[in-house]
């Protein structure tokens, strides 16, 4: 066993070019102004309910001890238990988790499911860790935050670099403290009480919403040129579903860079190439492109499905897409929003576009509490109903009040949470 102790501290993290909290605060302020909320209500709604920061010591495979920083932030529980993903990424810090937790409050309110908002994260590089190190990290983190989790308190789910296996470790560790509790976490494998359709729900849901938007503006989705940033859970499932609708991919990228083809990327060939080589880069018939340049290619629909703050004042003028569907959380800064709005680019906001994931997480929680299972067709049909209803509501609010879709979505969501705060009292 080695004797070195390596500690990850907040100071050691790379500086963030934009504070993602500015995005949620700005969008909240626009909605609060429209709703005429008083300053007490603004304070109540914008202040997180509970923030927990934990140090997570993990014995690495080489025998050394490393201390990671983990966070669980519950922004609101006023409409139901706090709900939101858990992210493993080197850039995780308190501002990022705070912003993502707040976005979850507005997302669950917008689609009108009985949850509040939360988010968790651990500052770590999961690609540099073994499976057993990740398991020890997840179990230690869960054991340190389990007191504030639970089916009626706070229910985590997958986010960047976490998956059904990580959710199973959380379920197992939580159950060791509290007894068998599958409803304590969603995004589990189906054989562990997960819901059919959950894994693809965010990408599939994004496709349903893009399809509705195209119908609304009278443009066909079949043949539309799409650029997709991020090819993980959300991006790859959105790609499959968009391809089924006949969309054509001109650029697809991930952390390692992007590929471009004016004639269109063949998805089946891409999945086969990825299975054979472990990466998307180098697919025959495509040209290499940087992740940043992908955002600026000529296309009809740009789908960011990776990190936040990727569309900012530095590149917004150069974006050539006519529509942006935000499958990622918080990909667009307020300055970029303003520039794109002025240029007539229509943005389908994140709290709507990627709400399919939390919607099916809600179905998973419901199934776990009732100890029954739904068929996948039923899951998909129920998700579609909820998403299309939210979409119509956002479109109606935007067109009747002559405001962008994002402001409409936030206005609907903030009004619902404010009403719940009022009814419950302080």
The residues of the shown chain that bind ligand NAD, judged by CB under 6 A, are: 85, 158-161, 202, 229-235, 253-255, 291, 305-307, 327-329, 354, 357
Exposure of 144 in the CB half-sphere (CA atoms within 13 A): 20
Strands 257-265, 346-348: pairing is unpaired
**CA-to-CA separations, 81 to 49, 117, 219, 280, in angstroms, rounded:** 12, 8, 39, 38
Nearer to ligand NAD, 44 or 109 (CB): 109
Q: 250 φ, ψ to 5°?
A: -95, -25
119 is catalytic: yes
Q: Please classify residue 372 by burial: count the beta carbons closer than 10 Å to its beta carbon, then call 0-12 exposed, 13-18 middle and 19+ buried.
A: exposed
Nearest-5° Cα angle at 418, 120 to 370: 55
In whole angstroms, the minimum distance from the beta carbon of 362 to ligand NAD comes to: 12
- Strand locations in 3-64, DSSP E? 5-7, 50-59
Catalytic residue (one of 66, 83, 107, 119): 119
CB of 325 or CB of 339, closer to ligand NAD? 325
Closest CA to 100 of 129, 73, 77: 73
Q: Where are the alpha helices (DSSP H) in 159-253?
A: 164-178, 198-217, 233-244
Smallest gap from Cβ 279 to ligand NAD, in A, equals 10
- Given a contact cutoff of 8 angstroms between Cβ atoms, the answer to whether 292 and 315 are in contact is yes
- By beta carbon distance, the residue nearest ligand NAD is 232
Q: How far is the CB of 209 from ligand NAD (least distance, A)?
A: 12
Nearer to ligand NAD, 151 or 257 (CB): 257
Q: Considering the complex, what minimum distance in angstroms separates the CB of residue 124 from ligand NAD?
A: 13
Nearer to ligand NAD, 307 or 346 (CB): 307
Please state the closest distance from residue 344 (CB atom) to ligand NAD, in A: 25
Contacts of 80 (CB under 8 A, 6+ apart): 108, 113, 114, 115, 116
Q: Are 64 and 6 in contact (CB under 8 A)?
A: yes
Please say which residue, 184 or 305, places its beta carbon nearer to ligand NAD: 305
Which residues have a Cβ under 8 Å from the Cβ of 412 and sit 6 or more positions away?
A: 109, 110, 393, 394, 397
Q: CB-wise, 209 or 418, nearer to ligand NAD?
A: 209
Instruction: In whole angstroms, give the CA distance from residue 316 to residue 343.
Output: 9
Residue 231 or 374: the one with the smaller Cβ distance to ligand NAD is 231
Smallest separation (angstroms) from ligand NAD to the CB of 130? 18
Q: Shortest gap between Cβ of 159 and ligand NAD (angstroms)?
A: 5
Any idea which residues carry the catalytic annotation?
119
């Amino acid at each position: 066993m080695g004797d070195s102790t390596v500690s990850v501290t907040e100071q050691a993290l790379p500086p963030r070019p934009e504070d993602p909290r500015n995005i949620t605060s700005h969008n909240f302020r626009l909605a609060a102004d429209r709703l005429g909320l008083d300053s007490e209500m603004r304070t109540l709604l914008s202040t997180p309910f509970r923030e927990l920061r934990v140090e997570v010591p993990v014995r690495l495979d080489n025998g050394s001890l490393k201390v990671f920083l983990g966070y669980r932030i519950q922004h609101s529980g006023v409409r139901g238990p706090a709900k939101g993903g858990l992210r493993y990424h080197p850039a995780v810090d308190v501002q990022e988790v705070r912003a993502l937790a707040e976005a979850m409050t507005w997302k669950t309110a917008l689609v009108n499911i009985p949850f509040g908002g939360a988010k968790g994260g651990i500052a770590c590089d999961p690609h540099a860790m073994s499976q057993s190190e990740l398991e020890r990290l997840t179990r230690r983190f869960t054991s340190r935050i389990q007191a504030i989790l639970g089916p009626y308190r706070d229910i985590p789910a997958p986010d960047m670099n976490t998956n059904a296996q990580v959710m199973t470790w959380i379920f197992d560790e939580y159950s060791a403290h509290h007894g068998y509790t599958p409803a304590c976490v969603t995004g589990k494998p189906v054989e562990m009480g997960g819901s059919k359709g959950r894994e693809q729900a965010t990408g599939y849901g994004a496709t349903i919403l893009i399809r509705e938007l195209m119908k609304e503006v009278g443009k066909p989705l079949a043949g539309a040129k799409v650029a997709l940033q991020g090819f993980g859970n959300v991006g790859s499932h959105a790609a499959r579903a968009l391809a089924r609708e006949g969309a054509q991919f001109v650029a697809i990228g991930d952390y390692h860079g992007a590929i471009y083809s004016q004639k269109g990327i063949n998805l089946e060939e891409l999945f086969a190439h990825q299975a054979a080589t472990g990466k998307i880069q180098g697919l025959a018939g495509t040209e290499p492109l940087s992740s940043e340049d992908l955002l600026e290619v000529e296309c009809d629909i740009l789908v960011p499905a990776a990190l936040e703050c990727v569309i900012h004042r530095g590149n917004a003028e150069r974006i050539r897409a006519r529509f942006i569907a935000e499958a990622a959380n918080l990909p667009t800064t307020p300055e970029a929003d303003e520039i794109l709005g002025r240029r007539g680019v229509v943005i389908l906001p994140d709290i709507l576009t990627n709400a399919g994931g939390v919607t099916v997480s809600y179905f998973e929680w419901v199934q776990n509490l009732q100890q029954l299972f739904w068929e996948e067709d039923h899951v998909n049909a129920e998700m579609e109903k909820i998403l299309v209803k939210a979409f119509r509501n956002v479109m109606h609010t935007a067109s009747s009040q002559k405001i962008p879709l994002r402001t409409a979505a936030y206005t609907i969501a903030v009004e619902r949470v404010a009403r719940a705060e009022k009814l419950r009292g302080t």
